[in-house]
Structure 1
Amino acid sequence: MRIAIDTDRCIGAGQCVLTAPRVFTQDDDGFSEVLPGGLDGAGDPMVREAARACPVQAITVADE
């Protein structure tokens, strides 16, 4: 699994952080980031739910 965040689309709603806090965080400006080592989903089953919960669909989850 590979995770990407479209930083041009992200509005910093934080739904991903609330849904999968082991994978996502927010930077100092409030925009979402993938935690270090989390680009592969870190084995978290909630990653797809976090992508679905994003109000602007800024998160892409792809199977490798």
Structure 2
Amino acid sequence: MKVSVDPDVCDARGQCAVVDSELFTLAEEGFSDIGEGKPVPPGKEDVAEQGVEICPVQALSIDE
């Protein structure tokens, strides 16, 4: 499983980082800096799904 952010959609609300700041890292400005296709560590699949779901602008996605 991998998680990605669309940088054109992310508006720096940081809700994903509230779920897990190690998986959903933020740049200094508060925008997600996970990039495209960041591997989700084993056992963090549910956390990744929560972070994607909580994004108010739907900037995050999961690739199986």
Normalising by the smaller structure, the TM-score range is 0.7 to 0.9
Residue of structure 1 in register with 2:40 after alignment? 41
Q: Give, in whole Å, the separation in 2 of the partners of 1:16 and 1:25.
A: 8
Q: CA deviation at 1:33?
A: 1.8
Q: CA deviation at 1:34?
A: 2.0
Q: Which runs of 5+ in 1 are unaligned?
A: none
> What TM-score comes out, normalization by structure 2 length?
0.83
Deviation sequence 1:2-41 (CA, Å, 0-9, x none): 1110000001111110102220111011101229xx8111
Give the ranges of 4+ consecutive aligned residues of structure 1 lying more than 2 Å apart after TM superposition: none
Q: Which runs of 5+ in 2 are unaligned?
A: none
Higher strand content, 1 or 2: 1
Higher helix content, 1 or 2: 2
Q: What number of residue pairs does the alignment pair up? A: 61
**Identity in percent:** 30
Q: CA deviation at 1:51?
A: 0.2
Give SS of 1:18's match.
Answer: helix
